[in-house]
Amino acid sequence: MSSTQVEISDVLGELNGLAQAGYAIGLQIQYTTPKFMFQTYSKEWLDLYSEKGLLMSDPTLAWGFENTGAVRWAQLSDNDPAGVLQLAKAHGIKFGITCAQESEGVKDGIRSVGSFARNDRDFTDQEIVDITAHFNTLHAATESQAQLPEETVQQLKKMSIIVTHPGS
């Protein structure tokens, strides 16, 4: 395993501990397609999210495509006409934040967006700082994908599948 793979694996492990209700991280999104996707939300939620096409009306993603930094989901609740955040709460995804980062000087606005959740309480300010730092590490580690060895890129894609679909 390369040092980039180890770093990404370590960061994902840290995020597992901070976001105990799960996360979804899209890295190096060009247009609407991420190069790497890591999701740890429950299969039930991921299936429902997909079946109902919630991606198109998710206020966390809308924020992530228009901003950089971090925001608490509570700040987005007034901009959720489809009720995505309420539906998430009904599935144990009660408190969350979204982080977004954009690559500087890159044509076509490549960015990364990640949402992180808890079911017991809101994130503390320090946890938001920590999650944002980890998220920015993931964005930076995958930013120069063209410079990564093909073996590393393929291993990261495998990691994406394993994290999103355990047992695959």
pLDDT at 168 over 50: no
Q: Which residue has the higher pLDDT, 3 or 69?
A: 69
Measure CA 111 to chain center: 11
User: What domains sit in the chain, N to C, each tagged with a CATH number?
Assistant: 3-164 (3.30.450.80)
Q: Could you tell me if 125 and 132 are in contact, meaning their C-beta atoms sit under 8 angstroms apart?
A: no
Q: With contact defined as beta carbons under 8 Å apart, do 96 and 73 qualify?
A: yes
**Which has the minimum average pLDDT: 12-26, 75-89, 127-141, 153-167?**
153-167
pLDDT of 165 reads: 47
**Maximum C-alpha span of the chain:** 44
pLDDT grade for 137, boundaries at 50, 70 and 90:
very high
Q: What is the mean pLDDT of the chain?
A: 87
| pLDDT tens per residue, range 111-129 | 999 999 999 999 999 999 9
Check pLDDT > 60 for residue 161. no
66 confidence band (pLDDT: 50, 70, 90): very high
pTM: 0.85
Mean pLDDT calculated for residue range 7-26? 94
- Measured CA to CA, the distance from residue 164 to residue 37 in angstroms comes to 8
Half-sphere exposure of 89 (CA within 13 A, CB side): 11
CA 23 to chain centre: 6
Q: Which amino acid is at 37?
A: M
Q: How far apart are CA 11 and CA 64, in angstroms?
A: 20
C-alpha distances in Å from residue 6, one per residue of 32, 35, 66, 87, 98: 27, 18, 31, 35, 24
Give the pLDDT confidence score for residue 104 in this predicted structure.
79
118: nearest Cα among 127, 109, 129: 127
